[in-house]
Amino acid sequence: MRNTLAKKITNFAENNPNVFLISGDAGFGVLDDFRDRFSTRFLNLGIAEQNTISFASGLGLIGFRVFVYNIIPFLLYRCFEQVRNDICYQKIPVTLLGIGSGTTYAPAGMTHYSVEDVALARTLPNLTIFSPADPIEAGQCAEFALKSENPVYIRIAKTGEPAIHSHSSIDIQKPLCIREGSHTAVLFHGSISQEVLQATTATSPAPRVFSIPMLQPLNFDSLHAQLNGIQTIVTVEEHFVEGGLGSIISDWITRENLSYRLQKVGIKNEFIHAIKNNQGMRQHYGLSSGQIRRAIKNAFDLT
């Protein structure tokens, strides 16, 4: 997904002289083509995250379409005040490209994990949040961001994720049905897609499976229409179980007094001390394909 986003932004820059890319001392190799071809519209502002966000805001105020690329903890956490005040409060259409969603930087440790970023970003008015599951969704998110009049946050993993869509004519502003099924629906976002798809391949009866690339605002009307005949919803995410997609769906069910049962699968809200690779972290927190399959079966047994 990183390479797809880099290529998209480079293509944008060919046709739009206002496209500007800023790195926070990250993206070496990935951003080299843009840097070499559009050197006057590329800056590596180094380890100065708060300054970077304020600088991006200033460029946005004078008409540039700014993309800021960095690891999520250094893009959103360290400079939350600047994202809040300089970008979101003023509705400046800066796009934040966050790398390393979930625990994909394992075993780097808690400082590099992004397991509460959706919860944090959801508190910011005017901010559109995307968590694409594959390169096709990521490319569509970039297309959306280029045209958006509001700030956009796109969170992706750091490794090469395979495509889960067979074509690019998808609408990432709506929940995307990946597989048809009955009684139970599985909703996921981001790079946990491969675990979910593997889990649901051998599940019988088959659940209906959805990728939710746009988390804020989530198109609840479209989701509700696509959940016809569904009794139980299972949300799966490589994010804290509270604060992410599961909480978005729980709030919706409560707000609209809907009859869906809900089971949330995610990372326990705690500081992560375990030292494992990404696959090991998923196993540790019940996010392997086999564990997700069991959670779906348990949810189906409730219907």
Question: Is residue 181 domain-shared with residue 151, that is, in the same domain?
Answer: no
Is residue 130 situated within a structural domain?
yes
| pLDDT for the residue 268 | 97
CA 123 to chain centre: 15
Domain finish residue from 124, 156, 188: 156
Q: What is the pLDDT of residues 20-33, one digit of tens each?
A: 999 999 888 899 99
Is residue 136 situated within a structural domain?
yes
Residue numbers of the domain that contains 7? 2-156
Question: Is residue 8 domain-shared with residue 138, that is, in the same domain?
Answer: yes
* DSSP E strands, the chain: 19-23, 42-44, 65-71, 95-99, 128-130, 152-156, 176-179, 183-188, 208-211, 214-216, 230-240, 261-267
| pLDDT for the residue 162 | 87
Evaluate if residue 8 carries a pLDDT over 70. yes
Q: What is the pLDDT of residues 239-291, one digit of tens each?
A: 999 999 999 999 999 999 999 999 999 999 999 999 999 999 999 999 999 99
Domain count, the chain: 2
For residue 200, the domain's CATH number is 3.40.50.920
Q: What is the pLDDT of residues 42-69, one digit of tens each?
A: 999 999 999 999 999 999 999 999 999 9
Is residue 211 situated within a structural domain?
yes
Is residue 163 situated within a structural domain?
no
| pLDDT for the residue 161 | 83
Domain finish residue from 98, 128, 156: 156
Question: Is residue 121 domain-shared with residue 242, that is, in the same domain?
Answer: no
| pLDDT for the residue 81 | 98
Q: What is the pLDDT of residues 140-162, one digit of tens each?
A: 999 999 999 999 999 999 877 88
| pLDDT for the residue 303 | 59
| pLDDT for the residue 166 | 86
Average pLDDT over residues 11-27: 95
Question: Is residue 71 domain-shared with residue 129, that is, in the same domain?
Answer: yes
Evaluate if residue 302 carries a pLDDT over 70. no
* Predicted structure pTM score: 0.96
Question: Is residue 142 domain-shared with residue 211, that is, in the same domain?
Answer: no
Question: Is residue 7 domain-shared with residue 130, that is, in the same domain?
Answer: yes
Question: Is residue 192 domain-shared with residue 151, that is, in the same domain?
Answer: no
Evaluate if residue 202 carries a pLDDT over 90. no
Estimate the share of the chain in helix, then strand, then coil, as percent rounded to the nearest 5. 40, 20, 40
Is residue 161 situated within a structural domain?
no
Is residue 244 situated within a structural domain?
yes
Question: Is residue 32 domain-shared with residue 117, that is, in the same domain?
Answer: yes
| pLDDT for the residue 239 | 98
Is residue 181 situated within a structural domain?
yes
Q: What is the pLDDT of residues 212-233, one digit of tens each?
A: 999 999 999 999 999 999 999 9
Q: What is the pLDDT of residues 80-120, one digit of tens each?
A: 999 999 999 999 999 999 999 999 999 999 999 999 999 99
Question: Is residue 41 domain-shared with residue 142, that is, in the same domain?
Answer: yes
Is residue 293 situated within a structural domain?
yes
Q: What is the pLDDT of residues 172-199, one digit of tens each?
A: 999 999 999 999 999 999 999 999 999 9
For residue 10, the domain's CATH number is 3.40.50.970
Question: Is residue 251 domain-shared with residue 194, that is, in the same domain?
Answer: yes
Mean pLDDT of the chain: 95
144-150: which pairs have CB atoms within 8 A and are 24 or more residues apart?
Answer: 144/172, 144/173, 145/67, 145/93, 145/95, 146/12, 146/16, 146/19, 146/65, 146/95, 148/93, 148/95, 149/91, 149/93, 150/91, 150/93, 150/126
Question: Is residue 270 domain-shared with residue 138, that is, in the same domain?
Answer: no
